[in-house]
Chain A
């Protein structure tokens, strides 16, 4: 128990004192996860809304497949991305393996289905309400998608947040494609796993505190944004 308190005390001092190693790891983690979330949102949000609006043979299969992909095992994603980026793989020529770019790709693959599936569910509710009005206006599918994305923005922000949560807490895929190389691809989760196995609980706990704090901040921002935009004037 004394060890635990001691580790917690050191962990807090690392966080408060902005320990150089800790700051570097947190910085890289945020860079990787935020980039992955941005890319996944750019793909997933319109994809989900387009699936809501579009009617085509096999749409149901697409939706079931997308929902199933939400539970993709991270290590499997890591393995597939590893095979694609390895020297013998189709994308090996770019030399991305064991770089932050590889970790971004793995996280993007992992969370795009989550954001797309949640986006479809959120916009589907809205579409059932808007469909006749938008059809009466004769809107194109593209305009319908942008309308749904704008009007569902608060709910969709939650979908993006869910994606960020999954990305920032992910270990397996980034470990495989990043290699957990010191000062190159070492992120919060891989460092926590490694330092815990080494018995260095202080750094692991310090990073854990930061991880939880980030989650709280993002949730708080989303909540605040929801309140602020509830009564805003929206552009057409």
Chain B
């Protein structure tokens, strides 16, 4: 099968593993092209929304539909990739981590070395090809995670706070790679709570708070003047206290 898996239509998406609703009736539609940033404070449900859309966890309610809604799940999986906040490094060399991903996608053994070399070159990891992935620095590991995802030539790439634990220099390198991936034609859906990063990367913003989609706007509109008090408070750096925190904690925070 060939063809696009986009748009992604999410309707009434809900995730409630226990008594608390962590993702609450979220609906949106994402099309190709724009870089989408899901923004929000801790506990907003950003990562969960990403995992739900990528199919890593099943929703409690709601619908996630790709393309015309009749795309085989195996094809859907092959056309998506995800980069996690804490990249999972296999106990192998840098090159072997990329090669493993290619093998998982059925790329023939003889074709892998060239693809691996291409991925390493794109992400500036050539010199570390034989280095065990687990001894790389945090920034290098995240670049490897991006290389591993990119080489699969996905149509959609989910990135879950990919620079959350990186220094500014590493963050810059990772963001450059993300923009290069986008320029190569991959739809970027990224979560972050870093306003600077959202400004640098986003074409459009989905603002989540306490599991709910509060606001959706183009990046320019959102940062020029958010429409909701929650988004305004977040942008101005005011603390948004989750409803479930004890009253005493809220009082302390407001003092």
Contact = CB atoms under 8 A, between A and B. Distances in A.
Interface in B42-82: 51, 54, 56, 74, 77-78, 80-82
Interface string A217-233: 00000000000001111
B96 interface: yes
* 4 nearest CB pairs, A to B: A138-B77, A236-B99, A133-B88, A234-B92
A138 B95 CA distance: 20
B91 A151 contact: yes
A151 B82 contact: no
Interface string A198-236: 000000000000000000000000000000001111111
Nearest to B54: A136
A: contact size bracket: 20 to 34
A63 to B, nearest CB: 23
A234 B134 CA distance: 13
B84 interface: yes
Contacts of B54: 136
Given A135-B56, A136-B54, A136-B82, 5 more contacts: A133-B84, A137-B101, A137-B105, A231-B132, A233-B130
Interface string B95-121: 110011111110000001000000000
A87 interface: no
- Of the candidates A136, A139, A152, the one having the most CB atoms from chain B within 10 angstroms of its own CB is A136
Interface string A132-152: 111111110001000100011
A31 B128 CA distance: 43
B93 A233 contact: yes
Contacts of A129: 88
B90 interface: yes
Interface in A119-168: 129-130, 132-139, 143, 147, 151-152
A130 B90 contact: yes
B: interface residue count bin: 20 to 34
A139 B96 CA distance: 16
Contacts of B90: 130, 133, 147, 151
A137 B152 CA distance: 9
A230 B132 contact: yes
Contact of A236 (B78, B80, B112, B152): B112
A138 B100 contact: no
Contacts of B92: 151, 233-234, 236
Contacts of B74: 138
B187 to A, nearest CB: 16
With most chain B CB atoms within 10 A of its CB, the pick from A138, A139, A232, A233 is A138
A236 B84 contact: no
B56 A132 contact: yes
Given A151-B90, A235-B96, A137 B104 contact: yes
Nearest to A126: B91
Interface string B129-157: 01010000000000000000000100000
A132 B95 CA distance: 20
Contact of A138 (B78, B96, B99, B130): B78
A151 B88 CA distance: 13
